[in-house]
């Protein structure tokens, strides 16, 4: 059956660049949104009175930057998270409880006001060092406690700034990068936006499956990005056996850059298992956003000498350095005994809340996963319906569509700020959303 034509009269352009810019403008203005279909190449070419090759070139450019996606025998659509700033954000509203944004609980974040009062801010000038020596010393000491011996680190403006610099120094457009499937949408979006091809590697509760990793490496890849614990969205975490199996697979590919994103760090109770030991090319990123606060845009990067040097060199050509005010604030937070106590409490709190929801869902016969981290992963047959049902019940949760490449549907539910006394209510509502015909304790 022929597909019905799609009308997009607001698209314009006589060249590939103009057509691509028109699509981006439509996204920015809200005329096109995530998942919206675009006309076929032939239809759009006819409407714009250009050759099909011109439209194909425009689509190729948009696809390379992660703006659109195309699957065999299916329409070309706007990506689930196109790298275009939208001017009209949709507020959640007071009625909805936000379990979608993956935010930490403000109640277990340190109070920055008292810390900032202790921060000295002498003038930091061009040409000065880029990493505060005390920050480097403390970061190296933390890594040593995890079994990673380094004597210097780089500092980036958060996890994705670090990943971007690492990939830019190691990959060229068109190269394949192995990612978790399901994996964090920010990683998928960034890889696509850099013109790289994300290759999904299926995971279970213990991370990437070794046999799937081996198959993906056989297709050729320049880098692999993985999360050793608190994996987002599934909550996977390596154990010693899985880490050993993955290291064995990776040992046959020494030139592949292995990037570990330990974003949760001190606020997860799972031990740290690394894949980087003995590798030629490797990097470990540790952000403070989840533990100390999202507004502290800072991550430390440990890596082999060549990779670290390239990443720092790339930074010098762009932002130059991360604000020394931020670096000094992080040093003060790391040194503060009350903050360390608070981080330990945060790890316990997040673990208790996550495990409580998993237990409550198991009691209701609902499959769910989350070995570590701030989220619970609930497989569903129909994401859109389940998410809408949750919205109707007053909960905003995240649809799995933006996190997955080939895996089946699911909902991601952030448990970080859900009080224990609300867990049964939430579990009942999840049951009602997934099985509307089933009676629950609240029916």
DSSP 208-256: E-HHHHHHHHHT--SEEEE-SSS-TTT-----HHHHHHHHHHHTT-TTS
CA angle 320, 67, 414 (to 5 degrees): 80
pLDDT of residue 439: 57
User: How would you list the strands of the sheet with 375-379, edge to edge?
Assistant: 375-379, 410-414, 398-399
pLDDT of residue 323: 92
Gap between the Cα atoms of 310 and 168, Å rounded: 9
Gap between the Cα atoms of 105 and 188, Å rounded: 25
pLDDT of residue 3: 56
pLDDT of residue 69: 82
Cβ atoms of 305 and 280 within 8 Å: the answer is no
pLDDT of residue 88: 42
Gap between the Cα atoms of 152 and 308, Å rounded: 9
pLDDT of residue 123: 81
> What are 8-65's pLDDT values in tens digits?
888 989 999 999 999 988 888 888 888 888 998 999 999 999 999 999 999 988 988 8
Gap between the Cα atoms of 216 and 221, Å rounded: 8
Gap between the Cα atoms of 267 and 261, Å rounded: 14
The model's pTM is 0.85
Backbone angles phi, psi at 349, to 5 degrees: -65, -50
Q: Which two tokens stand for residue 413?
A: 């539910």
CB atoms within 10 A of CB 185: 20
Q: Which two tokens stand for residue 304?
A: 């082999």
Backbone angles phi, psi at 171, to 5 degrees: -135, 160
Gap between the Cα atoms of 60 and 57, Å rounded: 5
pLDDT of residue 93: 56
pLDDT of residue 435: 92
CA angle 229, 220, 197 (to 5 degrees): 70
Gap between the Cα atoms of 287 and 1, Å rounded: 50
Pairing of strands 207-208, 154-156: unpaired
pLDDT of residue 5: 61
CB atoms within 10 A of CB 336: 15
Per-residue pLDDT of the chain (443 residues; tens, 9 = 90+): 445 567 788 898 999 999 999 998 888 888 888 888 899 899 999 999 999 999 999 998 898 888 888 765 568 888 877 777 664 444 555 678 999 989 999 999 999 888 888 888 778 888 888 999 999 999 999 999 999 999 999 999 999 999 999 999 999 989 999 999 999 999 998 998 898 999 999 999 999 999 999 999 999 999 999 999 999 999 999 999 999 999 999 999 999 999 999 999 999 999 999 999 999 999 999 999 999 999 999 999 999 999 999 999 988 888 889 999 999 999 999 999 999 999 999 999 999 999 999 999 999 999 999 999 999 999 999 998 999 999 999 999 999 988 998 899 999 999 999 999 999 999 999 999 999 876 555 55
Gap between the Cα atoms of 352 and 421, Å rounded: 12
398-437 burial: b if 16+ Cβ within 10 Å, else e: bbbbbbbeebebbbbbbbbbbeeeebbbbbbbbbbbbeee
In angstroms and rounded to an integer, the radius of gyration of the C-alpha atoms of the chain is 23
What region does 251 belong to: left with phi over 0, alpha with psi -120 to 50, or beta?
alpha
pLDDT of residue 2: 47
In order of start, what are the domains of the chain with their CATH numbers?
Answer: 16-78 (1.10.10.10), 97-106+339-434 (3.90.1150.10), 116-335 (3.40.640.10)
């Amino acid at each position: 059956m022929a597909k019905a034509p799609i009308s997009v009269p607001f698209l314009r352009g006589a060249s590939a660049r103009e057509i691509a810019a028109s699509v981006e403008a439509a996204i920015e203005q809200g005329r096109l949104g995530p998942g919206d279909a675009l006309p076929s190449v032939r239809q759009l070419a006819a409407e714009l009175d250009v050759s099909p090759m011109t439209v194909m070139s425009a689509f190729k450019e948009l696809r390379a930057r992660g703006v659109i996606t195309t699957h065999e025998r299916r329409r070309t659509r706007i990506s689930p998270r196109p790298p275009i700033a939208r001017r009209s954000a949709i507020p959640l509203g007071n009625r909805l409880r936000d379990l979608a944004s993956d935010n930490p609980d403000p109640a277990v974040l340190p109070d920055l006001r008292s810390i900032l009062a202790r921060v000295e801010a002498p003038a930091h000038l061009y040409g000065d060092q880029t990493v505060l020596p005390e920050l480097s010393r403390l970061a190296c000491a933390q890594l040593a406690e995890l079994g990673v011996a380094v004597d210097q680190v780089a500092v980036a403006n958060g996890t994705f700034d670090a990943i971007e610099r690492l990939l830019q120094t190691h990959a060229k457009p068109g190269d394949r990068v192995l990612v978790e499937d399901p994996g964090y949408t920010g990683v998928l979006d960034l890889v696509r936006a850099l013109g790289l091809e994300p290759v999904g590697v299926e995971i279970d509760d213990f991370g990437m499956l070794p046999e799937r990793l081996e198959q993906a490496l056989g297709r050729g890849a320049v880098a692999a990005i993985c999360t050793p614990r608190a994996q987002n969205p599934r909550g996977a975490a390596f154990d010693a056996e899985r880490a050993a199996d993955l290291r064995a697979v990776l040992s046959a590919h020494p030139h592949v850059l292995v990037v570990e994103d330990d974003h949760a760090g001190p606020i997860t109770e799972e031990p740290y298992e690394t894949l980087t030991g003995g590798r030629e090319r490797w990097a470990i990123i540790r952000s403070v956003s989840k533990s100390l606060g999202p507004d502290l845009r800072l991550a430390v990067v440990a890596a082999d000498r060549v990779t670290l040097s390239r990443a720092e060199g790339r930074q010098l050509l762009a932002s130059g350095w991360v604000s020394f005010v931020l670096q000094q604030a992080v040093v003060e937070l790391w040194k503060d005994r009350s903050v360390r106590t608070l981080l330990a409490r945060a790890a316990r709190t997040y673990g208790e809340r996550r495990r409580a929801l998993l237990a409550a869902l198991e009691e209701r016969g609902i499959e769910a996963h989350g070995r570590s981290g701030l989220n619970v992963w609930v497989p569903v047959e129909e994401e859109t319906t389940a998410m809408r049902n949750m919205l109707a019940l007053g909960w905003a949760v995240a649809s799995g569509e933006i996190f997955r490449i080939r895996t089946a549907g699911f909902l991601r539910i952030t448990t970080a700020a859900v009080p224990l006394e609300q867990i049964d209510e939430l579990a009942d509502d999840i049951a009602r959303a997934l099985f509307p015909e089933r009676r629950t304790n609240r029916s």
